[in-house]
Structure 1
């Protein structure tokens, strides 16, 4: 028999209750005319600039343009939340975390959180376990702490609750959807999707001592980052070389604010010390370097490459373990320059191509940086090609000129949440033969594109794209990424990077310090 424990008296710091937050939203709904503007803008983006539209129609049997036409006809009776949910769902059906609707103020820059994280491991016989891996001290009570094992979520067995949540995620493959279904149990970026339906969650759990209990935990809303008192987007809106899942980057920054050691929280979220962590580990009597890259969301490629080069230069002779699990991507040149300093020979980067639509041609003609794609887009009228020629986005050798190269053995650790620029990094690591890829899932998150915002596209296409209301936005996969060398022209989108070796997380990995994962990586180096 389970004993029910009341909600903790203390609340999550720097947050407001979901009920209070929603009262603010409902007090000032989005006018009907603004909804029409948003749907019209979405149609232009998907029909004219979304590079993966043919792939998504074929692979996921979806027709987002027709869905938008129908939504436009049915707007009037929808409530505020129904409208945001419908428009979000059109994009979710694409299974593309690069391409989505971004909700307006006051959702912008906010994340709903329960204040703890859940991770999964399996016994040798395959029995799954879902345990609290991190928790804010204000929520610890009655054995609900790190190591507590969840058994039910709002009365639903935990495994089934995660499956249901995963079905609502936009991951490109099953591993990615399940990983995001698990993470979004307790973290929901409000910029990329409507808030949770429930205001609090009823949890059935087993304490570390084996006692069965129940507790209620309320959803809280907090800003990802504030500037001049206003919540900010976690990713620049006018950057041209990004490949990133914005929702996961927002979640990363909130996890860092809630769970990182106090000294680690002092630096800015995009500072090098916030996205890179290095230490030396000993496994079976040998020393290895362990470099964790949490994100490529940095301001510049050269400083990032310099820091990676300094770290790699100090790695033990036994080898370097590079871990990009949970990395949502970021600055593509930073990812590719880091790859170059980890390689003793010149690396071949991934290539990028555009769709061959009229809007893509207008962009290529207007923007000097896109001129290289102009000829093949124009020729598509005769050739019938769906995509333009593919060219590299960056020159990693030029960015890293003069920096030391790491010549020792190395292994890359990935998971299903390694996305976008992290996909590109993993593909380059594998295609250029830097070492084996050890995955805790069979494939990476499978995001293969350079993403642009509606705001940035308006700079170059003002006659096609108009201003959006109340800080609402869209992000769209503009240039698709294809791999190099032995995988030349293979797209990253929906396919990701398949691991050379698979390691399923164990209890010691989740509740300890990744001991078994590090041992598996060290075995590959040895």
Structure 2
């Protein structure tokens, strides 16, 4: 048996043979891992950058100081008084301590290359399971010449001591250096720290080796001495990650990048181990399996165009359940492409499943807009943009000088450095274009590695009551925020005469932090709480059989509203319907094992409908939506023969109301077919008068719009009108947009200064199409000034 296990471990790492120039004992390369000299001017510049970042940009400073024993600016003053006495190692170490002291994974001080291109590893990986038990999950025996004791290790063995103390005590002693905040995240990141350290953001450890004791499943204990092995990544010197992060095109930071790199590095070992373990050694496999525990096979999921998205339909006790795995919210082809790929999987591959598990374990985040838009795929009502807050000061005003939506929040506060908000990173218009694409029951599966955008997605799904959250930890990581790098802020630093930091040293801090939609509470340091905590068994970590997902599926089966079999159904030809004209929609449903259905709209009972002799149910619904509005329709199916009076099935529909497009030649007075909307006060905002729109001098509104829905001829047409605007400059904005098939095109740049002129705008690009023309006015708090008007509206 031992020889089989050794064979297994060699097989598991065959594709990752150690190259001499990449893997060496740490003690042999210490002399090479040095920093280039820093002049006093260099150190002063790094200190100035750090002072600006923490005093002007870092949005979490006061919050962190209130819950942790940290005062970054005071610690920085100590360095400022003594930096001329410090060598490079001490200086960098003290700077790192400032950035990690706030326990914010979005806050980084990244060391210069080539030092940053090194990492230290032990040759094996570990993972936390239930009751904070830590076990070996993979071993790279290709490193046995550098670390002979690796041959003693077997996946599944429990770590019982580390550096002559308990693993949890050691982890606790390094919690500040690890930088995580929530208790579970501290342990999980601390476990990584036991076997892998990236020197992008950590000074070389003093120890050349670790001593550890392990216990096998049969109770046998043994000890090992494992040298730290240094790995140099030559590609690091050519990496463009720095430019990508600094460009502002991604919401992740380099710590996230390195966490993902570390995870991928060791996951390769684990996956090779699992494949061989599962398919080639069934006798060894029995060593780990608990015959009393239900298992779900998660092996061989289907891949997609998105590199981190996987799916599988899993038959389980007579049901077909869905499984969706998302490893990150990165969007390499853009947010819209990523959302479209998720939607495609939901509508084409998982539509017929009874319920769905979205597995987010180990998802370290990515694009915030991807997370927000993906949440919109799982509910009938559109989601709101996540509220973010930011500091108001001259430095930040410079950063937002081309973003009026944020600038208008900051200008009234001047340079007082208070937090202002809420503002949004994704517009409501963008979110409204994403509609519900899955209509079954949905749950999330999370852990304390769900970070950043993953925190945000979990929060939105929870706040809209769309999911129950199952997790292997008490909460997600707790870091919903938008991070900025010094490179991204380069223009602002140049405006205060600060050149770029020396040696390509970069720093990052949280510039905008997110609050919950439900209660406006901060996500940082809290995360999103787990509703049902599930313990991971050895199977979950060492095989592709999941006890955790099986437990969730068992809970699904207890749900009386879940479709019980393929013979019980309510089927419509489609899942969403467009309502035109008279706002009436007629639906025909085919049913099985259903005698009648009850219809609820927006959680209110509408009507009961009985089936006919042909097992059909005819439904007529009236929609009171404004154009492009949506309504959720819940369908509950009942079986009279059921022993309970509970519904035996639940499904959902989405009603979307479209405007009635008038032909241009049928229009007499354009003003007669313009619709106006104002979210709060129906007594002010745009008022119609023949071919004109009037705006009051003062209106306690934040937005108003007038919409003209028409069918344009095949020939080119011109929109003409006279505009008079005398509202408050820089606070009230007027614009015109065109919407065709849900795609918005700006026809006129937003104007804010007083206007009194005529406009002619070509609509030739929309010839022969149904088009919505929207005349918008947006304000900070209320429209003020003398008001305005749009008159002589014509399309010719």
Which band: TM-score by shorter chain?
0.7 to 0.9
1:389 has 2:421 as partner? yes
Q: Distance in 1 between matches of 2:421 and 2:239?
A: 40
1:251 aligns with 2:251: no
The answer on 1:325 being equivalent to 2:333 is no
Q: Identify the residue that residue 340 of structure 2 maps to in structure 1.
A: 306
Question: Matches of residues 469-484 of structure 1 in structure 2 within 5 Å?
Answer: 469-484=502-517
- The residue aligned with 1:268 is none
Using the TM superposition, name which of 203-212 and 81-90 deviates more.
Answer: 203-212
Which structure's CA Rg is the greater one?
2
1:58 to 44, 47, 66: 66
Distance 1:73 1:27, change over 3 A: closer
Within 5 A, what are the aligned runs for 1:34-49? 34-49=42-57
Q: Is contact 1:225-1:232 (8 Å) kept? A: no
Deviation string 1:5-39 (CA, Å, 9 cap, x unpaired) is xxx9x984543443344322327444443222211
Query: 2:114 maps to which residue?
Result: 106
- State how far apart, in whole Å, the 2-side matches of 1:79 and 1:213 are: 41
Q: Judging changes above 3 Å, is the alpha-carbon distance between structure 1 residues 80 and 431 closer, same or farther for their aligned structure 2 residues? A: same
Equivalent of 2:482 in 438, 445, 450: 450
* Residue 151 (1) aligns with residue 164 (2): no
User: Partners in 1 of 2:551 and 2:244 — Cα distance?
Assistant: 37
Task: Measure the CA separation in 2 of the matches of 1:352 and 1:42.
Answer: 23
Match of 1:430 among 462, 477, 486: 462
1:342 to partner: Cα distance = 3.5
Cα distance in structure 2, aligned partners of 1:201 and 1:170: 22
Q: Deviations over 1:164-200 (max 9, x none)?
A: 2334321122222122111221122221222333222
Residue pairs, 1:340-419, within 5 angstroms: 340-365=376-401, 368=402, 370-381=403-414, 386-395=418-427, 398=430, 401=433, 405-419=437-451
Q: 2:137 aligns with which of 133, 136, 148?
A: 133
Q: For residues 152 and 391 of structure 1, do their structure 2 counterparts lie closer, same or farther at Cα, with a shift above 3 Å needed?
A: same
Q: Distance in 2 between matches of 1:360 and 1:251?
A: 29
Q: Is the 8 A contact 1:17 1:221 kept in 2?
A: yes
Decide which moves more: 326-335 or 394-403: 394-403
Give the deviation of 1:138 after TM superposition: 2.0
1:292 has 2:301 as partner: no
Please tell me whether the aligned partners of residues 139 and 153 of structure 2 are also in contact (alpha carbons under 8 angstroms): no
Alpha-carbon spacing, 1:222–1:351, altered in 2? closer, same or farther (3 Å): farther
Which stretch shows the higher mean deviation, 22-31 or 458-467?
22-31
Number of the residue aligned with 2:192: 183
- Residues 294 and 402 (structure 1), Cα distance of their counterparts in 2 relative to 1, 3 Å cut: closer
SS in 2 for 1:217: strand
Counterparts in 2 of 1:79 and 1:157: CA distance versus 1, 3 Å: same
CA 1:302–1:136 in structure 2 vs 1: closer, same or farther (change >3 Å)?
farther
Distance 1:517 1:391 in 2: 38
Alignment of 1:165-244 (within 5 A): 165-208=174-217, 210-222=219-231, 226=235, 230-231=238-239, 233=241, 236-240=244-248, 242-244=250-252
Greater percentage in strand? 2
Please state whether the residue corresponding to 1:416 is helix, strand or coil.
Answer: coil
CA positional deviation for 1:285: 4.6
- Counterpart in the other structure of 2:532: 501
Q: Distance in 2 between matches of 1:27 and 1:498?
A: 42
In structure 2, stretches of 5+ residues that fail to align are 1-9, 11-15, 145-149, 273-303, 558-796
Q: Partners in 1 of 2:252 and 2:92 — Cα distance?
A: 22
Q: Which has the higher contact order (CA 8 A, sep 6+)?
A: 1
SS in 1 for 2:129: strand
Encode CA deviations 1:383-415: one digit per residue, 9 max, x unaligned.
x78212212211476378477712221111111
Is the Cα contact below 8 Å between 1:224 and 1:232 reproduced in 2? no
Q: Give the secondary structure class of the aligned counterpart of 1:256.
A: helix
Distance 1:298 1:223 in 2: 28
On the 8 A contact 1:340/1:396 being kept in 2, the answer is no
1:26 aligned counterpart, secondary structure: coil
Q: Output one character per residue of 1:435-459: Cα deviation in whole Å (capped at 9) or x when no partner.
A: 1111222221111210010001013
In terms of mean alpha carbon deviation, does 405-414 or 157-166 score higher?
157-166
How does the TM-score come out when normalised to structure 2? 0.58
Correspondence for 2:309: 276
Partners of 1:35 and 1:22 lie apart in 2 by: 24
1:478-510 per-residue CA deviation (whole Å, 9 max, x = no partner) reads 1111221x22x2221122111222223233333
CA 1:121–1:258: 2 relative to 1, 3 Å: closer
Alignment size in residue pairs = 501
Residues 522 and 234 of structure 1, relative CA distance in 2, 3 Å threshold: farther
Within-5 A mapping of 1:49-128: 49-122=57-130, 126=131, 128=132
Partner of residue 521, structure 1: 552
After superposition, the Cα gap between the structure-2 partners of 1:289 and 1:18, relative to the gap in structure 1 and judged at 3 Å, is farther
Query: The residue matched to 1:185 in structure 2 has which SS?
Result: helix
Between 1:43-52 and 1:19-28, the stretch displaced more is: 19-28
